[in-house]
Amino acid sequence: MNGDAFSFTLNGTHALALPSGALLVPSENLICISDLHLAKSERMARRRGVMLPPYETRATLDRLAQDIAAAQPTTVVALGDSFDDIQASEALDAQDRATLARLQEGRRWVWIQGNHDGGAHDHGGEGCEEFRAASLTFRHIAEPKASRGEVSGHYHPKYGPPGLGDRRPCFLLDASRLILPAYGIYTGGLDAREPVLRDLFADRALAVLTGTRAIPIPLPAARRRSRSA
Amino acid sequence: MLARADAPALLLIAPTGAGKTLSGFLPSLAELAGAPRPGLHTLYVSPLKALAADIKRNLLAPIEELGLPIRVEDRTGDTSQSVRKRQRVDPPHVLLTTPESLALLLSYEDAPRIFEGLQRVVVDEIHALAESKRGDQLFLSLSRLDALAPCLRRVGLSATVDDPEEIACLLARNPEPCVILHADPGPPPDLSILETGRPPPWMGGAALHAIPAVLEEVKRHKTTLIFHNTRAQAEIFFHNLWLRNDDSLPIAIHHGSLSREARSRVEAAMLGGELKAIVCTGTLDLGIDWGDVDLVIQMGGPKYVKRLVQRIGRANHRADEPSKAILVPANRFEVLECVAAIESALDGDLDGTRRGPGPLDVLCQHILIRACAGPFAADALFAEVRTTGGYTDLPRETFDACLEFCATGGYALRAYDRWRRLLLRDGLWQLRDPRAAKRIRMNIGTIEDTGSLSVRLRSGSHLGEIEEYFASTLTPGDTFLIGGQVVRFEGLKEMTVEVTRRPDAQPRVGRFGGGKFPTSVVLTHRILAMLQQESWPELPRHTSDWLALQRRISRLPQAGRLLVETFHAEERWHAAFWGFAGQNAHQTLGLLLTHRMEVQGLDPLGFVATDYALLVTGLREIEDPASLLDPADLREGFETWLQGNAVMKRTFRGVALIAGLIERNLPGSRKTGRQATFSSDILYDTLVRYDPDHLLLRVTREEAQRGLVDFGRVEEMLSRIQGRIDHARAARVTPLAAPLLLERGRVPVEGRARERLLEAQAARLLEEAGLEELS
């Protein structure tokens, strides 16, 4: 699996961007995933009356189970927006609950709070707003003035260079910070070139595309122009 | 018409321009001429908004002249909210509308009151509606109208069709009979192929070589309609036509991607007699009676004989004079197609449609619309639906599956009992949350929405729309054509494509969507028969010489056999499969064959599919083509491997939109574009994996087989050739195959090859950017 990953160093800590969209920090034996948005279909049905195929929790957990089986981490950090909202966290069916509990067995499990899933839920593990490991700080939303080594999620970045097919979920990376792609199945994305996202990074920054292999590709420079509304 | 006014269903078949629309109204006017009681008497439904407006003008003239106390109004997507509201409270005697607006009217709770006195419904251009889901929706709506208005009589107006009985069956309330009236077909049309003075190019569809000759014809005639098969071709042609239009003849462009204002301007100019010609697409196939059109030019092969006949009828809307049309082949193959099409049109040998049973996604939408109007009993709705031509044989369990889908999503994992959309109370189905009606109404309709984005100038004026996919391939600075002008892509702002005018730039062509139909079976069979002639006196010299050369060097394709030519050219091995099964089927065949080639280690690189042939390119020669063409293997490949294909996903999107799984216009959801709605491809993949028997996957498979994947035509070809495969190994590229090498739109073989390409480019970019140190 790691042969298909992208290896890099952030603030002195070696890490791997896995093709699935998970981050592996070997020195800490830690896996980090962001924006699972579990039970999104339940929330869509509840809030908007749309009944999407209710299998995204299963599909997302199946994917996570594969990463965990391969890496055998001692710590899993869920980087926020793990549930589509706090009510959705109660809507997991018995099978999905059992799967999640099995994944948590025998390892530390950290739920970082996101903007979607504020509040307490009953899915084990520990909750917090920020988490530190090695030289890295894990939080849900990137802070523009964060010190080096910030790992965050929230934006669901996507990128595809022009002419090379569809945009894919991607990691975004420069010497100072890393933003993870959304790991959940039913998640849209924000183009990495959008100023709100692009401006968080230095001119020299990388997108690491997910897929069958993690593929690094430079991000085009920020378009620094003020646009009249 | 008057003699048959009381028939419960009546189909009038008449050539375009024979005044059939007004005759459809005669019985209504006669009934209303006395002292009409207030309320709706006659409903007129046409596929085009413009037609409704035009009919209104034509109807009002005699009504006002005779001083009849009859109120005529139209109601379409363009009608203002206040007028629509008033129409529901106080309906006119005659209401002119579209299938979508009718479905919307039926979704209101006051539908029974609006329609209770309805006497007649007139369906115009029913032959065109019958070919699409819009027709299926309309016919379901008619079954609803029947329940609300027991005296309803139905009138259908159709152009000449191959099978009037089939249309009659759709029109009538089954199993009741339908009277069919045939009007005088008029004199045969005057059809010819444009003499351009030089042979058409080998490949391509733009027919730019014909521009001077086309301009000459435009000059010689009063008003000319220049039809194109796709919007993109119309744009290219129009752009180049103006570069050569030295006399500044007033020529405009009209197609479905242009803004409504742009189109109405052109229509008004046309009615005012200000234009010499309009470059147009299928949007002008039907509709408005423009008396002054005395010439129709068909650019490119017409693909369908019926379409050609329809277009021919656009010229000379007078029944006693022949219509005049000139066909312009854009390449060598189309010379054959145009000659075959002219022969078919003159012989009255029209292509059939054979659409199969009514589609279930449309039925799902119908159930939801019914639910919006109020509680209903499943038995009653089922009985109503079965009176509709396409659904007479609908099994109850299939209906129940559709109802279940509407109620709970129909998933094997019953997750939505709490949030279900419909519930059963006291034996009646109803919306759980009545507010859902608003969202359902916003998604009424079956017109395929490929996801289009509005194109605006920075200054704010709206130019038209382009496909979302095309927009996603643009980078700032790219230029493309829209409405005949070259514009420069500046950026995406929310869901709008911002552009500036760039008259000096070379355009990159817009992919606007719009129909890409394969050539019909009737036409391909005629072409195959033509290829077997001893000589070709009816063809231009350049084309007959070309065929003779092919016969000498290789051989010509035959109807009962499959010719496969293999040859080496440009450092690659090529194999041309002369399937004559239409572009969609060849594309499917290409995907299946290259997949099998990869398994066999034949290193395929890509393929090109045209209406006539599939050209596969690879690193090695195909030595045994028959081994790739085993019908059982192909079918299995279709069942298993093709599931993940993009055309399946695209078909699924249409089905999911119509059935109400996903929504077209989520209010407010597109505001920011941030974390935008995820792609329906994800839903498709998820269903395939976790709920493979789901109703919508079944519908998608059936539809793809008939439509984009067109496996039906692959099957037709396989049964035609019965394993009789002729393998011609040529020393070099054959005359017939040479144009295929020039064809654009090569489909690369998916898989490792493409991934390798991406990785290579990514690595190169990394190096150029000097960013390796980040890794």
Establish if A44 belongs to a structural domain: yes
Percent of chain A with pLDDT over 70: 93
pLDDT given for residue B428 in this prediction? 97
Query: Averaged over B159-181, what is the pLDDT?
Result: 90
- Predicted confidence (pLDDT) at residue A229 exceeds the cutoff of 80: no
pLDDT given for residue B515 in this prediction? 46
Residue extent(s) of CATH 3.40.50.300 domains in chain B: 9-182, 190-347
A226 Cβ contact partners less than 8 Å away, ≥ 6 residues apart = none
Polymer length of chain B: 775
Helix (H) or strand (E) run with residue B278 in it: strand B277-280
3-state SS record for B537-563: CCCCHHHHHHHHHHHHHCCCCCCCCEE
pLDDT band at B514 (very low <50, low <70, confident <90, very high): very low
Strand partners, B11: B156, B180
Helix (H) or strand (E) run with residue B678 in it: none
- Predicted confidence (pLDDT) at residue B531 exceeds the cutoff of 50: yes
> How buried is residue B514: exposed, middle or buried, by Cβ count under 10 Å (0-12/13-18/19+)?
buried
- Predicted confidence (pLDDT) at residue B510 exceeds the cutoff of 70: no
- Predicted confidence (pLDDT) at residue B665 exceeds the cutoff of 90: no
pLDDT band at B668 (very low <50, low <70, confident <90, very high): very low
CATH number of the domain that A158 lies in?
A: 3.60.21
Of A50, A93, A218, the CB nearest to B765: A218
CA atoms within 13 A on the CB side of B446: 28
Residue with token string 């279900």: B420
Burial call A60-96: b when 16+ CB within 10 Å, e when fewer: bbebbeebbeebebebbbbbbbbbbbebbbebbeeeb
Largest CA distance in chain B: 89
Total Cβ atoms within 10 A of residue B392: 14
Least confident of B347-351, B354-358, B372-376: B354-358
Establish if A86 belongs to a structural domain: yes
pLDDT band at B76 (very low <50, low <70, confident <90, very high): confident
Q: Where are the alpha helices (DSSP H) in B120-251?
A: 126-129, 133-148, 164-171, 211-220, 231-244
Query: Averaged over B407-412, what is the pLDDT?
Result: 95
Of A189, A194, A218, the CB nearest to B766: A218
C-alpha span between A212 and B329 (Å, rounded):
45
Of A46, A164, A175, the CB nearest to B758: A164
C-alpha span between B392 and B687 (Å, rounded):
29
Contact state of B759 with A58 under an 8 Å Cβ cutoff: no
3-state SS record for chain A: CHHHCEEEEECCEEEEECCCCCEEEHHHCEEEECCCCECHHHHHHHHHCCCCCCCHHHHHHHHHHHHHHHHCCCEEEECCCCECCCCHHHCCCHHHHHHHHHHHCCCEEEEECCCCCCCCCCCCCEEECEEEECCEEEECCCCCCCCCCEEECCCCEEECCCCCCCCEEEEEECCCEEECCCCCCCCCCEECCCHHHHCCCCCCCEEEECCCCCEEEECCCCCCCCCCC
Task: Give residue-wise pLDDT tens across range B417-429.
Answer: 889 999 999 999 9
pLDDT band at B546 (very low <50, low <70, confident <90, very high): very high
Contact state of A185 with B677 under an 8 Å Cβ cutoff: no
Nearest to B725 by CA among B577, B614, B589: B577
Establish if A187 belongs to a structural domain: yes
The CATH code of the domain at B190-347 is: 3.40.50.300
Task: Give residue-wise pLDDT tens across range B266-294.
Answer: 888 988 889 999 999 887 877 666 668 89
Least confident of A201-205, B431-435, B454-458: B454-458
Q: In chain B, which residue's Cα lies nearest the Cα of A216?
A: B762
Q: In chain A, which residue's Cα lies nearest the Cα of B666?
A: A48
* Residue A110 lies in domain: 2-218
| B175 prior amide bond cis, ω within 30 | yes
With contact defined as beta carbons under 8 Å apart, do B317 and B361 qualify? Answer: no
pLDDT band at B634 (very low <50, low <70, confident <90, very high): confident
Contact state of B413 with A45 under an 8 Å Cβ cutoff: no
Q: Strand pairing of B747-748 and B604-609? A: antiparallel
On chain B, the residues whose CB falls within 8 A of the CB of A51 are 408-409, 411, 416, 419-421, 661
Contact state of A190 with B439 under an 8 Å Cβ cutoff: no
- Predicted confidence (pLDDT) at residue B343 exceeds the cutoff of 90: yes
Q: How far is A19 from chain B (nearest CA, A)?
A: 13
pLDDT given for residue B534 in this prediction? 93
pLDDT given for residue B454 in this prediction? 79
- Predicted confidence (pLDDT) at residue B207 exceeds the cutoff of 80: yes
Prediction pTM value? 0.84
The CATH code of the domain at B9-182 is: 3.40.50.300
Contact state of A55 with B691 under an 8 Å Cβ cutoff: yes
Query: Averaged over B582-598, what is the pLDDT?
Result: 86
What are B99's two structure tokens? Answer: 């299938």
**Is B452 or B514 the better-scoring residue by pLDDT?**
B452
Nearest to B659 by CA among B406, B427, B378: B406
Total domains, chain A: 1
C-alpha span between A7 and B367 (Å, rounded):
54
pLDDT given for residue A226 in this prediction? 40
pLDDT band at B502 (very low <50, low <70, confident <90, very high): confident
Contact state of B475 with A41 under an 8 Å Cβ cutoff: no
Nearest to B574 by CA among B612, B633, B614, B628: B614
- Average pLDDT over chain B reads 85
With contact defined as beta carbons under 8 Å apart, do B227 and B515 qualify? Answer: no
* Cα–Cα separations (whole angstroms), residue B549 to B535, B544, B573: 12, 9, 22
DSSP 8-class letter at B708: T
What are B276's two structure tokens? Answer: 């010499």
* Cα–Cα separations (whole angstroms), residue B633 to B215, B580, B584, B607: 52, 20, 19, 20
CA atoms within 13 A on the CB side of A142: 26
